Amino acid sequence: MNDASLARRRRTGGRKGHSDRAGHAVISQSPWRLPINPDNPTEPLDGDGVAALHRGAMRILSEIGIEFLNDEAIGHLKAAGCKVEGQMVRFDPHFVEEMVARAPSQFTLTPRNPDRAITIGGRHMVFGNVSSPPNAWDLDRGKRPGDFETYREFIKLTQYFNCMHFAGGYPVEPIDVHPSVRHLDCLFEKLTLTDKVAHAYSLGSERVDDVMEMVRISGGWTHEEFEASPRMYTNINSVSPLKHDWPMLDGAMRLARRGQPVVVTPFTLAGAMAPVTMAGAVALSLAEGLAAIALLQWIAPGCPVAIGTFTSNVDMKSGAPAFGTPEYMRATQMTGQMARFYGLPMRASGVCAANVPDGQAMWETANSLWSAVQSGANMIYHAAGWLEGGLIASPEKFVMDCELIQQIQRYFEPALWATTDDDIAVEAMAEVGPGGHFFGCAHTQERYQSAFYQPFLADWRNFEAWRSEGGVWTAERANRLYKRILEEFEPPPMDDGLREELSDFVARRKREGGAPTDF
């Protein structure tokens, strides 16, 4: 926490964000916390398997090469001694290893509210909202294109839920805002409606620079303070197979030079843009990820990066991507092993192929989230609100996912497996005796209020009690809940001066025409 942020907290009375209090008004949710995953990861690969995947990734990089559709990147890699033919770059494995070794294994991102700082790496595990669906769906309105008002609703949900640690990409694409100024309006809302870590899309130099400037203003930081430590991040995707395109590389380099983290996430869909074999799809993903990380570590040694996984498989019947499948789970676990091998923080996702927030949606999402836990992933994208393979954002699904994510966070608490004499409680058993019950005994009375996870959405009453209040299924309960949360939402406190400065910046950039567009 720096002096400027301390001073600002004093100005706002040092109080916690309103959202914590609003939380109590509508639901009793778990507190904000930085989860530590205590489980040893699930590791399908033995040592030979890890070595084989590493060797495979290095063969791809050295024998086939990766296309870099960005002349500046090509220039850097040529200077670094890589073999460049046109836009194809072949890497010496030793160079890749040397560059990857420069990356920190862990880093901390501090947004405008220093209480919302998050650490990426080690055993830390943080969660963010669904990002980038072009469409929204809810029970009342069905499927429809994303718009700005819906964008704002999802941003409010992202702020509201304490189990959401960062505000990722646009939770829905607001197509009613012109692309030249969309990033300005979206980031203004994100930086004022939330006080959590924000994200910049690497979709054009001006947009990336605008977002960095807006984040800097939101924190009241000087340029030096902004660059001194991670404040925000970008996520770039390769164009699998074997290609990085211009804007992603441009944005990644812009952030890396200013000390801001870059997550590199290839989307290797086995049987489509990647080999039909999971090891092949993972090796390809690693090669594409490591190629970009090598570039970034060459131009900005020690810059914070993370390697992402988005390896899944197609439905061989329809060609559509499937998510949360057995193959997806194993690919995520394998990538976790390789991320640890390379000493890199890792990103995974909470995903499904289902079109509505029903049973299928939740078994697929549970599979993907548990595989993220099992893989030791540090940063969980799309963790709340994702449907239809990422083409839909749904507020009902958002609320349902938050219940599951809260449970994962509770699952991490060591109290659940504590084995002191007080926990084993032989004396309480002696007191209660055969056939008795523990409701009334002192051991229970002293502990029951915090002994167990308390759901806000799950209905644990029996059928008749549940039916007596209408027999409402989960998606419908989530529908009622998200609307109440939005009605009572209060934005987090923000210094008036900084808010005005941010607003002025947006107005000026709009007068200047915003960012260039293709149309």
User: If binding is defined by CB under 8 A, does position 278 make contact with its own copies?
Assistant: yes
- The answer to whether 184 touches 210, Cβ cutoff 8 Å, is yes
d(CA 69, CA 292): 12
* List 3, 13, 24, 40, residue binding its own copies (CB under 8 A): 40
User: If binding is defined by CB under 8 A, does position 411 make contact with its own copies?
Assistant: yes
Shortest distance in whole angstroms from residue 440 CB to its own copies: 11
DSSP element (H, E) containing 349: strand 346-349
DSSP element (H, E) containing 286: helix 278-299
Interface segment toward its own copies; rule CB under 8 A; list 46-54, 106-114, 256-264, 482-490: 46-54
Shortest distance in whole angstroms from residue 447 CB to its own copies: 5
- The answer to whether 373 touches 408, Cβ cutoff 8 Å, is yes
d(CA 357, CA 171): 16
* List 13, 224, 417, 518, residue binding its own copies (CB under 8 A): 417
Per-position x/- string for 359-398, each x denoting binding to its own copies as judged by CB under 8 A, each - no binding: xxxxxxxxx--x-----------------xx-xx------
Coil, helix or strand at residue 64: helix
- Distance from first CA to last CA of the chain, Å, rounded? 43
* List 13, 24, 85, 435, residue binding its own copies (CB under 8 A): 435
What is the Cβ-side half-sphere exposure of residue 65, based on CA atoms within 13 angstroms? 14
Considering only residues 70-109, where is the footprint of its own copies by CB under 8 A? 88
For residue 249, what are the CA distances in angstroms to 170, 177, 237, 347, 351? 20, 25, 9, 18, 26
Shortest distance in whole angstroms from residue 360 CB to its own copies: 4
- The answer to whether 242 touches 288, Cβ cutoff 8 Å, is yes
- The answer to whether 343 touches 103, Cβ cutoff 8 Å, is yes
DSSP element (H, E) containing 74: helix 71-79
Pairing status of strand 83-85 against strand 312-314: unpaired
Q: Residue 4 or 428: which CB sits closer to its own copies?
A: 428
Shortest distance in whole angstroms from residue 8 CB to its own copies: 36
Q: Residue 197 or 354: which CB sits closer to its own copies?
A: 354
d(CA 425, CA 146): 54
User: If binding is defined by CB under 8 A, does position 239 make contact with its own copies?
Assistant: yes
Q: Residue 34 or 228: which CB sits closer to its own copies?
A: 34
User: If binding is defined by CB under 8 A, does position 284 make contact with its own copies?
Assistant: yes
Query: Tokens 């260039």 correspond to what residue?
Result: 516
Considering only residues 446-465, where is the footprint of its own copies by CB under 8 A? 447-449, 451-454, 457-463, 465
Per-position x/- string for 12-31, each x denoting binding to its own copies as judged by CB under 8 A, each - no binding: --------------------
User: If binding is defined by CB under 8 A, does position 163 make contact with its own copies?
Assistant: no
**What is the distance of C-alpha 90 from the center of its chain?**
31
Q: Residue 362 or 485: which CB sits closer to its own copies?
A: 362
Runs of H (alpha helix) within 134-181: 148-160
Shortest distance in whole angstroms from residue 416 CB to its own copies: 4
Per-position x/- string for 325-354, each x denoting binding to its own copies as judged by CB under 8 A, each - no binding: xxx-xx--xx------------------xx
Interface segment toward its own copies; rule CB under 8 A; list 179-187, 301-309, 317-325, 505-513: 317-325
User: If binding is defined by CB under 8 A, does position 408 make contact with its own copies?
Assistant: yes
User: If binding is defined by CB under 8 A, does position 162 make contact with its own copies?
Assistant: no
Q: Residue 4 or 88: which CB sits closer to its own copies?
A: 88
* List 315, 488, 496, 500, residue binding its own copies (CB under 8 A): 315
**DSSP-assigned letters across all residues of 415-482:** GGG--SHHHH-HHHHHHH-TT--SSSSHHHHTTHHHHS---SS---S-HHHHHHTT---HHHHHHHHH
Q: Residue 39 or 71: which CB sits closer to its own copies?
A: 39
User: If binding is defined by CB under 8 A, does position 511 make contact with its own copies?
Assistant: no
Considering only residues 252-271, where is the footprint of its own copies by CB under 8 A? 270-271
Q: Is 93 exposed, middle or buried (0-12, 13-18, 19+ CB in 10 A)?
A: middle
The strands making up 386-387's β-sheet, listed across from edge to edge, are 142-145, 135-138, 392-393, 386-387
User: If binding is defined by CB under 8 A, does position 139 make contact with its own copies?
Assistant: no
Tokens matching residue 484: 């109440």
**Sign of the alpha-carbon dihedral angle for 173, 133, 306, 155:** positive
Shortest distance in whole angstroms from residue 132 CB to its own copies: 16
* List 3, 13, 24, 63, residue binding its own copies (CB under 8 A): 63
Count of residues engaged in binding its own copies, rule: CB under 8 A: 130
User: If binding is defined by CB under 8 A, does position 45 make contact with its own copies?
Assistant: yes
Shortest distance in whole angstroms from residue 290 CB to its own copies: 15
Interface segment toward its own copies; rule CB under 8 A; list 16-24, 152-160, 169-177, 399-407: 399-407
d(CA 492, CA 189): 12
User: If binding is defined by CB under 8 A, does position 429 make contact with its own copies?
Assistant: yes
Count of other CB atoms within 10 angstroms of residue 270? 26
User: If binding is defined by CB under 8 A, does position 53 make contact with its own copies?
Assistant: yes
User: If binding is defined by CB under 8 A, does position 140 make contact with its own copies?
Assistant: no
Shortest distance in whole angstroms from residue 458 CB to its own copies: 5
- DSSP class of residue 270 equals E
Interface segment toward its own copies; rule CB under 8 A; list 97-105, 223-231, 424-432, 501-509: 424-432
